[in-house]
């Protein structure tokens, strides 16, 4: 029987009393970044050591939602998903010169004294494999991607999940006959990237940047945020943005298209795409035969998105003094149902009727069923966790349900049917 990857049933309903990972009133003393504080307090993450985080069930749901959006858009540009190894081959890294040149490379020594790089990126893994399957122009173009854990020995790891020593990245690699074909795909990838960030409620500015050890230029996707580690110079009209490190112009200069003075802002790099030319193809002898039977080097591109960094960036941008305000598309649940007990029959109504009906309708609900906790505390936890819709069943609501959006003050009384229409 054929089985799609996405047939696994989602856990639609969760009782808060049973949830692994609860809220905390205090932020940890050793965290300075907003994302780390709020995600800790909301019960999404726990720190292992500096720059390394564990994702609890709420956090894992958010990561899965982010990953699935990225997956859909990468599939839409023809990317084939695979999963490459974290423990890599030292010889491949020596071939490209990066065993010594890659500053943040973790190097492991086994009990047998063999050395392994712990993958910070995967060009050295994918190119030798591609070499086994690409031999003719008929095998091109090709693009493959993965969502996988990366390791980098970052010097500073004070930005919570924005900068991990272990973090999740989506990396896609594309293979082409020539620059022209590469450029067509690079433009498609740019469009896909814009869709990815927009779907997550982020305004990511496409920004010219240096290519690092990879290439002359690259394009970064930068989200303006106070706690960002990068700086961009950008046009408020949206036609220009450059990483301040490589910017040909300064803040305050008039935009050529008359949009006013260029601005400078702190920003978070959530994605980065690079033309690789034949750098890695040359290192591994990755060539193909053209129509005339001539051997030519394969032209490549690589395309990264920081999955865990995106989760942190979303929290940095979407929060208030009460907690996180998740965009609907990545929220751990669609609705947060609160039962304010006033008599036994009310619990029965909330549980048998509202909860069961939402379950049948396939709506993802976190149900705060705790009986020993005050209404005020439940509301505060709900705001902290940041699920987009708060639903309340109480004496005041009778046989209706109170609806309130996170971040808005307005409440409405709805019937269960109206509720399902809105959330369905
Ligand atoms: P940075 O300049 O922030 O160190 P980078 O330019 O070295 O990042 P890339 O190699 O371009 O990173 O990686 C692709 C994407 O992976 C980045 O755009 C970013 O979103 C994410 N990323 C990179 N390093 C980290 C990290 N240490 N923690 C979390 N995400 C990261
Ligand atoms: Mg980068």
| pLDDT tens column, 38-61 | 999 999 999 999 999 999 999 999
Q: Quick check: CB of 168 below 6 Å from ligand 1? A: no
The residues with which 403 forms a beta bridge, in sequence order, are 391, 412
pLDDT the model gives residue 172? 98
Q: Quick check: CB of 154 below 6 Å from ligand 1? A: yes
Length of the chain: 424
Chain segment 144-160, per-residue pLDDT in tens? 999 999 999 999 899 99
Q: Quick check: CB of 269 below 6 Å from ligand 1? A: yes
Q: Quick check: CB of 167 below 6 Å from ligand 1? A: yes
pLDDT the model gives residue 6? 47
Q: Is the peptide bond before 37 cis (omega within 30 degrees of 0)?
A: no
Round to whole Å and give the CA distance between 241 and 222.
9
Round to whole Å and give the CA distance between 56 and 186.
36
- Alpha-carbon torsion (371, 372, 376, 381), positive or negative: negative
CB 278 within 8 A of CB 295: no
pLDDT the model gives residue 355? 82
Report in angstroms the alpha-carbon separations of 3 from 61, 65, 146, 271. 22, 20, 20, 32
Minimum-distance ligand 1 atom for the alpha carbon of 152: 27
pLDDT the model gives residue 26? 95
- How close is the Cα of 160 to the center of ligand 1, in Å? 13
Minimum-distance ligand 1 atom for the alpha carbon of 120: 10
Buried b (16+ CB within 10 A) or exposed e, 323-340: bbbbbeebbbbbbbbbbb
Helix/strand/coil percent split, the chain, to 5? 35, 30, 35
Q: Quick check: CB of 174 below 6 Å from ligand 1? A: no
Round to whole Å and give the CA distance between 311 and 162.
8
> Among 167-171, 285-289, 303-307, 398-402, whose mean pLDDT is lowest?
398-402
Mean pLDDT over the full length of the chain: 93
Taking the model in full, what pTM does it have? 0.96
Q: Dihedral through CA 198, CA 202, CA 205, CA 210, nearest 10?
A: -110
Query: pLDDT at residue 89 above 50?
Result: yes
CB atoms < 10 A from the CB of 226, how many? 11
Q: Quick check: CB of 309 below 6 Å from ligand 1? A: yes
- How close is the Cα of 268 to the center of ligand 1, in Å? 10
């Amino acid at each position: 029987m054929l089985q799609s990857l996405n047939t696994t049933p989602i856990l639609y309903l969760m009782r808060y009393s049973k949830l692994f990972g609860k809220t905390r009133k205090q932020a940890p003393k050793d965290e300075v970044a907003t994302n780390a504080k709020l995600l800790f307090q909301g019960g999404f993450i726990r720190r292992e050591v500096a720059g390394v985080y564990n994702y609890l069930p709420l956090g894992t749901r958010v990561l899965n939602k982010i990953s699935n959006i990225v997956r859909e858009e990468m599939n839409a540009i023809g990317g084939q998903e695979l999963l490459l190894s974290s423990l890599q081959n030292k010889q491949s890294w020596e071939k490209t010169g990066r065993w010594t040149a890659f500053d943040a490379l973790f190097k492991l020594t086994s009990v047998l004294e063999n050395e392994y790089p712990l993958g910070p990126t995967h060009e050295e893994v994918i190119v030798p494999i591609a070499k086994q399957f690409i031999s003719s122009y008929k095998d091109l173009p090709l693009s493959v991607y993965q969502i996988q854990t990366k390791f980098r020995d970052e010097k500073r790891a004070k930005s919570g999940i924005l900068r991990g020593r272990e973090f999740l990245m989506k990396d896609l690699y594309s293979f082409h006959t020539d620059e022209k074909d590469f450029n067509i795909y690079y433009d498609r990838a740019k469009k896909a990237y814009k869709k990815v960030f927009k779907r997550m409620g982020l305004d990511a500015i496409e920004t010219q940047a240096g290519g690092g050890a990879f290439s002359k230029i690259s394009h970064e996707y930068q989200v303006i945020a106070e706690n960002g580690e990068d700086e961009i110079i950008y046009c408020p009209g949206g036609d220009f943005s450059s990483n301040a490190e490589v910017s040909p112009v300064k803040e305050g200069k008039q935009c050529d298209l008359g949009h006013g003075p260029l601005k400078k802002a702190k920003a978070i790099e959530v994605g980065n795409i690079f033309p690789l030319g034949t750098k890695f193809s040359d290192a591994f002898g990755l060539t193909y035969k053209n129509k005339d039977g001539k051997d030519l080097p394969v032209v490549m591109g690589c395309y990264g998105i920081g999955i865990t960094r995106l989760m942190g960036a979303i929290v940095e941008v979407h929060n208030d003094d009460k907690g996180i305000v998740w965009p609907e598309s990545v929220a751990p649940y669609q609705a947060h149902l609160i039962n304010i007990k006033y008599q036994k029959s009310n619990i029965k109504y909330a549980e048998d009727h509202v909860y069961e009906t939402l379950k049948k309708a396939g709506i993802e609900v976190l149900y705060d069923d705790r009986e020993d906790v005050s209404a005020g505390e439940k509301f505060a936890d709900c705001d902290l966790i940041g699920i987009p819709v708060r639903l309340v069943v109480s004496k005041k609501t009778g046989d209706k349900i109170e609806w309130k959006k996170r971040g808005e003050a307005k409440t409405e009384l709805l019937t269960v049917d109206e509720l399902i229409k809105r959330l369905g």
